[in-house]
Amino acid sequence: MPEDFIRQSPETAKKNLSKAERRKKLREVPASLKRFREIKEQALLGAGPKRIEAQKAKGKLTARERLSYLLDEGSFQEIGLLVETRSTDFGLKDKGIKGDGVVTGFGKIDGRKVAVFSQDFTQLGGSLGLAHARKITTMMDLALEAKIPVIGILDSGGARIQEGVDSLDGYGEIFYRNTKSSGKIPQISIIVGPCAGGAVYSPALTDFVFMVEGISNMFVTGPEVVKAATGEDVDFETLGGSMTHASKSGVCHFVAKSEPDCYRQVKELLTFLPQNNEERPPIAETKDPIDRKLPLLEKLCGVDPRKPYRVHHIIWWLSDDHKFLEVHHHFAKNIVTGFMKLGGMTVGVIANNPSHMAGALDINASDKAARFIRFLNKFNIPILTLVDVPGYWPGVKQEHAGIIRHGAKLLYAYSEATVPKVTLVLRKAYGGAYIAMSSKYLRGDINFALPNAEIAVMGPRGAIEILYSKELKKSKPEDIDELKLKLSQEYADKFASPYQTASRGSIDEVIEPLNARSRLINAFELLADKKKPGTDVTGGNIPL
């Protein structure tokens, strides 16, 4: 629109121009705006339809589609759409790729603010050059200042080869910020494509890693390098696919069947988390009665201590509306970790799981639980510990791999945690594992036990073999079974109950199983103000 027309008063314009001319002039778009719109449209297209088609052929969504699944409709505010690499080597000068392979900005999830980045594989394979890295670090810096979670969507060929050491330095900048933000704002990584080389260490520094079946890979060195270095033949999926990392390495916390399912899971996770370490998690509304009775726990009191059961059933019965979001479902199944709401409050659960390795603690279980406890502590989330543990898993393999070193992490994490800690002994609590599972003297705040709980240095069978080894050796072979039974019974009468422990105050109360839900909720309500958010001085949450 010409400047003279805009300066004219409506009366003058009427005098000088016909109605049709005036209308035409009003419809004219200034050249600068035209250019802006063209540039923007071009930038939003990414690398174009061919590349997008190739992306789809791999079963993957585009970077922007991913954000639209994740964020509230219309909430995304982009930052850095027009950023380009400054590198000119190896033909980068002519590529002119706006956005430099990553979409960054802010948005909302269920009305709560988040910072996001989404790597665009259609542009230079989503590879990370310096400008790409700076876009991400800008978001990370703003997120830390604004105290909001950061969610990264990763789909990248890794360090941009054409940019040499600049790309490596870019990763360094990201890792540094991951560490600086640790324990202050929740950090979530969603792997929806390749994540190779040193690039894997950014997700590993964040709190939760999501992967999607069939499209996600993470590895430090790919199959070809593995073959050259060690002679092993391995495909991408076996080396670093979602189930490999969910069940074997423990890198991945959540596996999704599809991308939309993955973004739904991320949103669900956020409903349990505060925005930062200075806030409390959101309180949920629930119609589930606080005093709902638990017949299942009554039944548990009659279960043979050696019989397995899935502790998930207990958790589902305890939690509001029977909902439980399990973290690390496929990894170290002998211990269960996850989030539930109790009376509307977010609670983090750590529970021995007798259906896997009898619920014994081993290296992976110790690492899994310790890191989760440390996350809960950083983010003001109270801890519920459900105990049914026969001890530490024995064996040369475990000893040599460092069960002492790894097991110590669990003791450390519980001892250091200052959030409310409520413990319920469901059945067995033996030896060092009894101490480790948030016992009174690791500063459990309120420690309950069910009437059938057995709290002792070890189980009756093991105990009598040691206490009465001479007598057992001397007895006739035909009498040995009967003698063992008698001795076990005597031992069980004395120690295989919660009463000796309760008499010493190491258990605060033996509770009626039917009322366990209301007792736990009341305990957490009582302790709700125990820790002032933001007062934790123990630094970040180092990956364990």
Which residues here bind ligand HXC, judged by CB under 6 A? 124-125, 127, 157-162, 168, 171, 194, 196-199
CA distances in angstroms from 88 to 47, 136, 156, listed in the order given = 18, 21, 20
Q: Which is nearer to ligand HXC, 168 or 284 (CB)?
A: 168
CA distances in angstroms from 427 to 316, 450, 454, listed in the order given = 17, 7, 6
| Measured distance CA(226)–CA(239) in Å, rounded | 9
Q: How far is the CB of 265 from ligand HXC (least distance, A)?
A: 25
Q: How far is the CB of 61 from ligand HXC (least distance, A)?
A: 15
Q: Which is nearer to ligand HXC, 226 or 435 (CB)?
A: 226
| Measured distance CA(483)–CA(320) in Å, rounded | 48
Write down the catalytic residue from 164, 214, 344, 432.
432
Q: Which is nearer to ligand HXC, 155 or 388 (CB)?
A: 155
Q: How far is the CB of 374 from ligand HXC (least distance, A)?
A: 25
Q: How far is the CB of 132 from ligand HXC (least distance, A)?
A: 11
Give the number of C-alpha atoms closer than 13 A to the C-alpha of residue 20, restricted to the C-beta side. Answer: 0
3-class DSSP state for residue 250? coil
How many CB atoms are closer than 10 A to CB 501?
23
Q: Which is nearer to ligand HXC, 186 or 194 (CB)?
A: 194
Q: How far is the CB of 527 from ligand HXC (least distance, A)?
A: 42
End-to-end CA distance of the chain: 62
Q: Among this protein's residues, is 198 annotated catalytic?
A: yes
Q: How far is the CB of 267 from ligand HXC (least distance, A)?
A: 28
The type of residue at 371 is R
Q: Which is nearer to ligand HXC, 95 or 264 (CB)?
A: 95
| Token pair of 447 as six digits | 């420690």
- Strand 454-456 to 217-219 pairing: unpaired
Give the number of C-alpha atoms closer than 13 A to the C-alpha of residue 144, restricted to the C-beta side. Answer: 15
| Measured distance CA(120)–CA(203) in Å, rounded | 17
Phi first, then psi, for residue 326 (nearest 5°) are -80, 135
Say if CB 350 and CB 386 are below 8 A apart: yes
Q: Among this protein's residues, is 197 annotated catalytic?
A: yes
| Measured distance CA(7)–CA(23) in Å, rounded | 16
Query: Which residue matches tokens 């933000």?
Result: 181
Say if CB 346 and CB 381 are below 8 A apart: yes
Q: Among this protein's residues, is 204 annotated catalytic?
A: no
Write down the catalytic residue from 197, 250, 348, 407.
197
| Token pair of 226 as six digits | 């593995």
List Cβ neighbours of 238 (8 Å cut-off, separation of 6 or more).
244
Q: How far is the CB of 119 from ligand HXC (least distance, A)?
A: 11
| Measured distance CA(491)–CA(487) in Å, rounded | 6
Q: Among this protein's residues, is 46 annotated catalytic?
A: no
Write down the catalytic residue from 332, 360, 433, 456.
433
Q: Which is nearer to ligand HXC, 128 or 433 (CB)?
A: 128
Q: Which is nearer to ligand HXC, 59 or 539 (CB)?
A: 59
Q: How far is the CB of 221 from ligand HXC (least distance, A)?
A: 9
Say if CB 217 and CB 269 are below 8 A apart: no
Q: What residues are paired with 325 via a beta bridge?
A: 339
Q: Which is nearer to ligand HXC, 168 or 514 (CB)?
A: 168
In terms of Cα–Cα distance, which of 284, 216, 285 is closest to 246? 216
DSSP state of 215: T
The alpha-carbon radius of gyration of the chain (Å, integer) is 29
How many CB atoms are closer than 10 A to CB 93?
11
Phi first, then psi, for residue 198 (nearest 5°) are -60, -15
| Measured distance CA(44)–CA(512) in Å, rounded | 61
Q: Which is nearer to ligand HXC, 220 or 290 (CB)?
A: 220
| Measured distance CA(311)–CA(513) in Å, rounded | 15
Write down the catalytic residue from 164, 198, 462, 540.
198
Q: Which is nearer to ligand HXC, 239 or 311 (CB)?
A: 239
Q: How far is the CB of 184 from ligand HXC (least distance, A)?
A: 23
Q: How far is the CB of 260 from ligand HXC (least distance, A)?
A: 21
| Measured distance CA(367)–CA(383) in Å, rounded | 16
Angle CA(107)–CA(77)–CA(95) in degrees, nearest 5?
120
Active site residues: 197-198, 432-433
